[in-house]
Amino acid sequence: MELLKDLTLILLVTTIVGHYCTRIGIPAVIGQLLVGVIMGPAILGWLHLTHELDSFAEIGVIILMFIAGLESDLQLLKRYLKPSVLVAALGVLVPVAGSYIVARAYQLPFVESLFISVIFAATSVSISVEVLKEMNALSSREGTTILGAAVVDDVLAVVILSVLVSTTGTAVGDTGSSNLLITTIEQIIYFAAIYFVVRWVAPYMAKIGEKLMIPMGSTLMAIILCFGMAYVAELVGLSNVVGAFFAGIAISQTSARETVDHHIEPIGYALFIPVFFVSIGLNMSFKGLGHQVWFIVILTVVAVLTKQFGAGIGAKMAGFSWSSSMAVGAGMVSRGEMALIIAQIGFQAKLMSSMRYSAIVAAIILATLLAPFLLRWTMNRVEKESQREKDEMKSA
């Protein structure tokens, strides 16, 4: 009963807010995030992140990243592998350094400062994916680089987290093993197995789906692959969105791509994906934050700028124009669920005090709220620059 009430409220309000956000030119995802902040514990207290809602949100981000993989061009991803690695590397190193300096400036302990820096190294590309989809730029040079870099970024963040937790002697949630070497080997095997999934497993499953004498057989097989790869990714200490993204890429290489894409979007966008974006806002609470306002503001500004310019410089080094580089950087700013998950792991592992945990969550959500605006603004600049170049070529 409680779940039905919460879902009805979420879907009703996000539908209305999303409509008016789109109408006035604001990304619909911003409205959904704000619905979570306003209706959640932070302000009205009408909604709370229950275990059931959290499960719906988890499925939402998995489906969202599966769709992103499904709509990605594998050849473009291969082509932009080098820029993606550069963007991810600098997009991790610069925020780690910046966040660590802020934490130490506030005289936080060494381990806690180091852990906070790891939190802000992470990128959650799910919100950027939504904005890029709204702008029809998911398969653009910038969009493809952002997607590729986000996957590398997740791997780097998990590796850094594993090293930190191993050296401080605390177990990390459900990574499957506290032994860093074993975890790393498991992750390498996982990425090697992706080739076999793309090459043989996904096409075989797509063929079985086409022969099944039930409605949406191909889509069901695709969802089984998506959830299975997401589960195994978590099992080896990676984010489940990494598994879902590669499952989408695997299905995109089969004859079932269009059918699955046509069926999966209504499932995601009608229910699970709005719940995911609202759930991010539900994590916010203003309790006890009054005396930490400047810490939150400075940390948010540093989190945004270090990711924007760190990833942007990586893109520039890979040969992008400045406007394209800033768009790529903006696409990496959002921290979202990835940073929240790492923060939760650290809080449970007692690597971070409860006092700082709320402030960190607030900074994560503020950075996540700013990210879509930055991405839309920088992508509009790229489009204008591209149009200007085309006009100049025509006049010449």
The predicted pLDDT at position 166 comes to 57
The mean pLDDT of 208-228, rounded to a whole number, is 92
- Residue 339 has which token pair? 């940073």
Quick check: 336 pLDDT over 90? no
DSSP string, 229-242: HHHHHHHTTS-HHH
Q: What is the DSSP letter of 193?
A: H
Alpha helices in the chain (DSSP H): 2-23, 28-39, 51-70, 74-79, 81-105, 110-119, 126-134, 141-168, 180-196, 202-211, 217-235, 240-252, 257-267, 273-282, 293-317, 322-331, 336-348, 354-395
Q: What whole-number distance in Å separates Cα of residue 155 and Cα of residue 191?
A: 10
Q: Give the model's pLDDT for residue 158.
A: 66
| CA–CA separation, 344 and 199 (whole Å) | 36
**C-alpha to C-alpha distance for 285 and 42, rounded to whole angstroms:** 4
| 359 and 170 Cβ atoms separated by less than 8 Å | no
Does residue 23 contact residue 29 with C-beta atoms inside 8 Å? no
Of 298, 303, 313, 286, nearest to 338 by C-alpha is: 303
On whether the pTM is more than 0.75, the answer is no
Q: DSSP secondary-structure letter at 292? A: G
Contact 3, 52 (CB under 8 A): yes
Q: What is the rounded CA–CA span in Å between residue 142 and residue 215?
A: 37
- The least confident of 1-5, 36-40, 102-106, 162-166 is 162-166
Question: What is the pLDDT averaged over residues 314-339?
Answer: 88
Q: How many Å apart are CA 343 and CA 364, to the nearest integer?
A: 10
Compute the average pLDDT of residues 90-117: 91
* CA atoms of 328 and 125, how far apart (whole Å): 11
Looking at residue 196, what is its pLDDT? 93
Residue written as token pair 């309000």: 13
Closest among 41, 23, 21 to 31, alpha carbons compared: 21
Residue 103 pLDDT > 70? yes
Q: Is the pLDDT of residue 324 over 90?
A: yes
If one counts every other C-beta atom within 10 angstroms of the C-beta of residue 25, the result is 7
224-252 mean pLDDT: 89
Give the pLDDT score at 172.
Answer: 38
pLDDT score for 162: 62
C-alpha–C-alpha distance, residues 342 and 300, integer Å: 17
What's the mean pLDDT in 55-84? 85
Q: Is the pLDDT of residue 49 over 90?
A: no
- Burial of residue 133 (CB within 10 Å: 0-12, 13-18, 19+) is middle
What is the model's pLDDT at position 163? 65
The whole-number average pLDDT for the span 90-119 is: 91
> Which tokens in the block code for residue 295?
């810490």
Give residue 72's pLDDT band: very low, low, confident or very high (50, 70, 90): confident
**pLDDT in the model for residue 213:** 87
Q: What's the pLDDT at 334?
A: 85
Pairwise CA distance, residues 301 & 309, whole Å = 12
Mean pLDDT of the chain: 85
Angle between helices 81-105 and 141-168 in degrees, nearest 10: 50
Listed range (22-26, 33-37, 172-176) with the worst mean pLDDT: 172-176
Asked which of 54-68, 159-173, 352-366 is least confident by mean pLDDT, the reply is 159-173
Take residue 363 and report the two structure tokens written for it: 């900074």
Q: How confident is the model at residue 170 (pLDDT cuts 50, 70, 90)?
A: very low
Structure confidence by residue, pLDDT tens digits, 337-365: 667 767 766 776 677 777 787 788 888 88
Q: Residues 270-312: pLDDT tens digits?
A: 999 999 889 888 877 777 677 888 999 999 999 999 999 999 9
Joined tokens for residue 112: 């806690």
pLDDT above 90 (res 151): no
Residue 79's Cβ-count burial label (10 Å; 0-12, 13-18, 19+) is: middle
Mean pLDDT value of segment 111-119? 87
The Cα 156–Cα 93 span in angstroms is 10
pLDDT tens-digit readout, 364-374: 888 888 888 89
Q: What is the pLDDT of residue 177?
A: 43
- CA–chain centroid gap for 203, Å, is 27
